[in-house]
Amino acid sequence: MGTKLRVEIKRTKPNEAEIEVYGETYTLLVPLAQSLISLNYVEFAGFDVPHPLEEKGILYVRVREGDPVDAVFEAINNLKREYGELKSSLLEELARLKQEK
């Protein structure tokens, strides 16, 4: 079982948020920032890992319109769908390869 995540949302402005994520760093934050950038109303998305020995990352989000936290939820849902499709494709291909043996 993995590490339990803890999240703290800190707003700097109505259209900006800093989200501190404890228990995860690059594995979660790289795809999440990329997914956020793909949303047309997200102006900026990036992250920082303040110290390499701490399991803490800070996600920065700025939107042109709407709520930055809603953008994070949308990005997470997009990733869940994308990874679900990837998992299905991978399992199908593995099953096909196994049958060829």
The SS3 of residue 89 is: helix
Q: Spelled out in words, what is the top-level CATH class assigned to the domain 6-100?
A: alpha beta
Mean pLDDT for all residues in the chain: 92
CA distance 17 to 69: 7
CA distances from 84 to 24, 49, 79, 88 (A): 21, 27, 8, 6
pLDDT over 80 (residue 2): no
Domain ranges of the chain: 6-100
pLDDT score at 4: 85
Task: Give the percent of the chain with pLDDT over 90.
Answer: 70
How far apart CA 85 and CA 25 sit, in angstroms, is 24
